[in-house]
Amino acid sequence: MKIEENVSLRDLTTMNTGGKAKYFCRVCTIPELKEALDFVHKHSLPYFIIGGGSNLVFSDKGFSGLVIKMEIKSVVFKDKGGHVFVTAGAGVVWDDLVEETVERGLYGLENLSLIPGTVGAASVQNIGAYGTEVEEVIEQVEVLDIVTQKIKIFSHNECLFEYRKSFFKKEGKGKYIVVRVVFKLLKKSDVRLSYGSLKKVFDEKGISSPTPREIREAIIVVRKEKLPYDGDIGSAGSYFKNPIVSQDHYTKLLSMYPEMPGFSVSKSEVKIPAGWLIDNVCGLRGSRDGNVGTYEHQALVLVNYGNATTEEIKKFAEKIVACVKEKTNISLEREVEYVE
Here the CATH number for the domain that contains residue 29 is: 3.30.43.10
- Identify whether 333 is a catalytic site residue: no
Cα 164 to Cα 127: distance, rounded to the nearest angstrom: 6
Q: Flag whether pLDDT at 127 surpasses 80.
A: yes
Whether 30 and 122 map to the same domain: the answer is no
Assigned domain for 218 exists: no
Whether 292 and 239 map to the same domain: the answer is yes
Cα 185 to Cα 136: distance, rounded to the nearest angstrom: 10
Whether 64 and 107 map to the same domain: the answer is no
Cα 330 to Cα 336: distance, rounded to the nearest angstrom: 18
Q: pLDDT at position 206, please?
A: 81
Q: pLDDT at position 248, please?
A: 97
Per the prediction, the chain carries an average pLDDT of 94
Assigned domain for 161 exists: yes
pLDDT (tens digit, 9 = 90+) per residue, 271-297? Answer: 999 999 999 999 999 999 999 999 999
Q: What is the mean pLDDT of residues 291-310?
A: 95
Angle at 312 between CA 310 and CA 317, to 5 degrees: 95
Q: Please identify, among 30, 53, 70, the residue that sits at the C-terminal boundary of a domain.
A: 70
| Catalytic residue (one of 164, 180, 216, 285) | 164
pTM value is 0.92
Assigned domain for 52 exists: yes
Q: Please identify, among 19, 48, 70, the residue that sits at the C-terminal boundary of a domain.
A: 70
Assigned domain for 140 exists: yes
Q: Please identify, among 186, 221, 243, the residue that sits at the C-terminal boundary of a domain.
A: 186
Phi then psi for 235, rounded to 5 degrees?
-155, 145
Cα 51 to Cα 160: distance, rounded to the nearest angstrom: 22
Long-range CB contacts (within 8 A, 24+) of 288-296: 289/315, 289/316, 289/319, 292/316, 294/320, 295/227, 295/228, 295/233, 295/235
DSSP 165: B
Assigned domain for 202 exists: no
The H or E element that residue 149 is part of is none
Sign of CA pseudo-dihedral 290, 295, 58, 329: positive
Assigned domain for 145 exists: yes
Whether 33 and 134 map to the same domain: the answer is no
The lowest-confidence range among 65-74, 94-103, 202-211, 262-271 is 202-211
Q: How far is CA 34 from CA 75, 180, 248, in A?
A: 21, 15, 51
pLDDT (tens digit, 9 = 90+) per residue, 140-175? Answer: 999 999 999 999 999 999 999 999 999 999 999 999
Q: What is the mean pLDDT of residues 64-75?
A: 98
Q: What is the mean pLDDT of residues 127-134?
A: 92
Whether 111 and 31 map to the same domain: the answer is no
Strand, coil or helix: 18: coil
Assigned domain for 213 exists: no
List all residues 6 or more positions away from 234 whose beta carbon is below 8 Å from its beta carbon. 14, 15, 16, 17, 303, 304, 305, 308
Q: pLDDT at position 326, please?
A: 98
Q: pLDDT at position 229, please?
A: 80
Q: Flag whether pLDDT at 122 surpasses 90.
A: yes
| Catalytic residue (one of 54, 110, 238, 285) | 238
Q: How far is CA 96 from CA 52, 103, 211, in A?
A: 12, 11, 18
Whether 140 and 53 map to the same domain: the answer is no
Q: Flag whether pLDDT at 196 surpasses 70.
A: no
CA-wise closest residue to 235 among 163, 335, 162: 335
Whether 334 and 301 map to the same domain: the answer is yes
Assigned domain for 220 exists: no
Whether 32 and 120 map to the same domain: the answer is no
Here the CATH number for the domain that contains residue 300 is: 3.90.78.10
Q: Flag whether pLDDT at 81 surpasses 70.
A: yes
Task: Please give the tally of structural domains in the chain.
Answer: 3
Under the banding of pLDDT at 50, 70 and 90, the label for residue 301 is: very high
Residue 307's domain spans which residues?
234-339
- Identify whether 238 is a catalytic site residue: yes
